Amino acid sequence: MSDTVETQLFINGAARPASDGGTYDIFNPARPSELVGRAAAGTPDDVEAAMKAAHRAFPAWAALSYAERAEMVRKVAAAITQDMEEVEARARLFTREHGKIVFETRLEISRLGERFLQCANYADRLEQDEHIKAAPNDTIITRQPRCVAALVVPWNWPLVILGAKLPQALMAGNTVVVKPSANSALAPAMTLSRIAEMLPPGVVNIVTGSASRIGDAIIGHPLVRFLNFTGSVDVGRHVMKVTAENITPVTLELGGNDAGIVCHDADLTGDVFQRLYRASFMSTGQICYALKRLYVHKSRYDEVVAGLRTVVDAQVIGDGLLPETTMGPMNNAKQLKVVANMIAEARAADQDVHELGQVPDQELYQNGYFQRPALVLNADVSLSVVRKEQFGPILPIIPFETEVEAIAMANDDPFGLASSIWTADTQRAVALARKIEAGYTFVNAHGPSAMDNNGPFGGFKKSGIGRNFGYEGVTQFQGLHSIAGGPGMIL
Mean pLDDT of 138-154: 97
Lowest-confidence pick of 125-139, 217-231, 241-255: 125-139
d(CA 64, CA 242): 32
Helix 84-98 × helix 102-120 angle, to 10° = 120
Catalytic residue (choose from 97, 104, 253, 403): 253
Task: State what percent of residues in the chain have pLDDT above 90.
Answer: 97
DSSP letters, 255-298, are ---EEEEE-TT----TTHHHHHHHHHHGGGG--TTSEEEEEEET
Residue 28: beta bridge partners?
Answer: 31
d(CA 121, CA 8): 32
Looking at CATH, the fold of the domain delimited by 5-254+467-481 is given as Aldehyde Dehydrogenase; Chain A, domain 1 (3.40.605)
Per-residue pLDDT at 344 exceeds 80:
yes
Hey, what amino acid is at 225? Answer: R
Residue 461 near residue 305, CB atoms below 8 Å: no
Per-residue pLDDT at 64 exceeds 80:
yes
Q: What pLDDT does residue 287 have?
A: 97
Q: How far is CA 46 from the centre of its chain?
A: 25
Q: What pLDDT does residue 449 have?
A: 87
The CATH number that domain 258-453 falls under is: 3.40.309.10
Q: What pLDDT does residue 135 have?
A: 82
d(CA 225, CA 309): 49
Q: C-alpha distances in angstroms, 324 versus 106, 256, 368, 372, 430?
A: 16, 30, 17, 16, 38
**Edge-to-edge strand ranges of the sheet holding 478-485:** 130-134, 137-145, 478-485
Residue 284 near residue 338, CB atoms below 8 Å: no
Residue 1 pLDDT level (bands cut at 50, 70, 90)? very low
d(CA 239, CA 231): 10
Give me the count of residues in the chain.
Answer: 491
Of 317, 269, 274, 307, whose CA–CA distance to 446 is shortest? Answer: 274
Residues 182-212: tens digit of each pLDDT: 999 999 999 999 999 999 999 999 999 999 9
Residue 272 near residue 446, CB atoms below 8 Å: no
Per-residue pLDDT at 2 exceeds 60:
no
d(CA 77, CA 481): 30
Task: For residue 137, report the phi and psi dihedrals to the nearest 5 degrees.
Answer: -130, 155
Residue 118 pLDDT level (bands cut at 50, 70, 90)? very high
**Edge-to-edge strand ranges of the sheet holding 5-7:** 5-7, 31-40, 23-28
Residue 415 pLDDT level (bands cut at 50, 70, 90)? very high
Q: Is-above-0.85 flag for pTM?
A: yes
Decide: helix, strand or coil at residue 79: helix
Decide: helix, strand or coil at residue 71: helix
Of 58, 175, 170, whose CA–CA distance to 120 is shortest? Answer: 170
d(CA 366, CA 374): 17
Q: Is 253 a catalytic residue?
A: yes
Of 195, 217, 226, 214, whose CA–CA distance to 58 is shortest? Answer: 226
The alpha helices in 143-300, defined as continuous H runs, are 158-162, 166-172, 186-197, 211-219, 233-244, 272-281
Hey, what amino acid is at 465? Answer: I
Mean pLDDT of 353-363: 98
Q: How many CA atoms lie within 13 A of 101 on its CB side?
A: 19
> Could you tell me the end-to-end alpha-carbon distance of the chain, in angstroms, rounded to an integer?
58
Q: How does the average pLDDT of the chain come out, rounded?
A: 97
Q: What pLDDT does residue 442 have?
A: 98
d(CA 424, CA 236): 38
d(CA 345, CA 465): 32
By CB atoms closer than 10 A (0-12, 13-18, 19+), residue 133 is exposed
Residues 300-312: tens digit of each pLDDT: 999 999 999 999 9
d(CA 330, CA 334): 9
Q: What pLDDT does residue 136 have?
A: 87
Task: For residue 308, report the phi and psi dihedrals to the nearest 5 degrees.
Answer: -65, -40
Domain extent listing, the chain: 5-254+467-481, 258-453
Q: What pLDDT does residue 391 have?
A: 97
Catalytic residue (choose from 108, 263, 288, 389): 288
Residue 18: beta bridge partners?
Answer: none
Task: State what percent of residues in the chain have pLDDT above 70.
Answer: 100
